[in-house]
């Protein structure tokens, strides 16, 4: 039988099963001690890191929920503001239409009043001119009658005619 050391010397792969020569027992003890001691140390570090990561994830989730809630509220506020803006715009248009209609109505009423005033002024002027023409015609008729009457009437009839003319002018 060929020893495993020979295989290793000849360039092959060999397995040395001698526990004392290979320090296998020492390696198992050192690895066991390292695992036992580092388990608490590394485990604590890893557990703290895991807790920190979980806390950061929880905080991020809370911030996400808060941001989502704030976004929903902002969208509701935006929708309400848009509705209010639309309502204000519609109210403004209705108000402008009412003002326009009111202005048109006042203009029409003012034009009708001006027409009535012009008509009343025209009628007053026509009445004044008519009265003036009547007086002038009456004066001319009286003057003509007075100029022609002295040769046709006696003094008593002439006095009665003058009194009658004066009385007629006083009544009109």
pLDDT for residue 15 is more than 80: no
- b/e code 32-46 from CB counts within 10 Å (16+ = b): eeeeeeeeeeeeeee
- Using the Cα atoms of residue 143, residue 149, residue 155 and residue 160 in order, give the sign of their dihedral: negative
3-state SS string over 56-113? HHHHHHHHHHHHHHHHHHHHHHHHHHHHHHHHHHHHHHHHHHHHHHHHHHHHHHHHHH
The pLDDT of residue 138: 86
The pLDDT of residue 52: 94
Dihedral over alpha carbons 148, 153, 159, 164 (to 10 degrees): -70
Per-residue pLDDT tens digits for 84-130: 999 999 999 999 999 999 999 999 999 999 999 999 999 998 999 99
Q: Average pLDDT in the 130-146 region?
A: 86
Q: Are 16 and 4 in contact (CB under 8 A)?
A: yes
The pLDDT of residue 3: 47
DSSP 12: S
Count of C-beta atoms within a 10 Å radius of residue 161 = 15
Q: Are 112 and 104 in contact (CB under 8 A)?
A: no
- pLDDT band for position 13 (50/70/90)? low
The pLDDT of residue 1: 42
CA distance 168 to 154: 21
pLDDT for residue 7 is more than 60: no
CA distance 133 to 142: 14
The pLDDT of residue 16: 64
pLDDT for residue 8 is more than 80: no
The pLDDT of residue 45: 85
What domain range is 125 assigned to?
A: 4-171
The pLDDT of residue 167: 85
CA distance 29 to 20: 13
Per-residue pLDDT tens digits for 38-83: 777 777 888 899 999 999 999 999 999 999 999 999 999 999 999 9
The pLDDT of residue 150: 63
Number of domains making up the chain: 1
Q: Which residue has the higher pLDDT, 27 or 77?
A: 77
């Amino acid at each position: 039988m060929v020893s495993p050391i020979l295989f290793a010397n000849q360039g092959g792969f060999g397995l040395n099963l001698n526990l004392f020569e290979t320090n296998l027992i020492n390696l198992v003890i050192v690895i066991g001690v390292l695992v036992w001691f580092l388990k608490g140390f590394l485990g604590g570090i890893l557990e703290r890191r895991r807790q920190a990561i979980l806390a950061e994830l929880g905080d991020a989730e809370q911030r996400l929920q808060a941001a989502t809630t704030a976004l929903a509220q902002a969208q509701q506020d935006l929708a309400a503001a848009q509705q209010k803006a639309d309502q204000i715009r519609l109210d403004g248009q209705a108000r402008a239409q009412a003002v326009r209609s009111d202005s048109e109505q006042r203009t029409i009423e003012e034009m009708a009043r001006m027409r009535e005033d012009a008509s009343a002024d025209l009628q007053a002027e026509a009445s004044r001119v008519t009265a003036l023409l009547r007086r002038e015609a009456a004066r001319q008729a009286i003057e003509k009658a007075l100029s022609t009457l002295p040769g046709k009437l006696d003094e008593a009839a002439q006095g009665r005619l003058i009194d009658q003319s004066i009385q007629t002018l006083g009544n009109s």
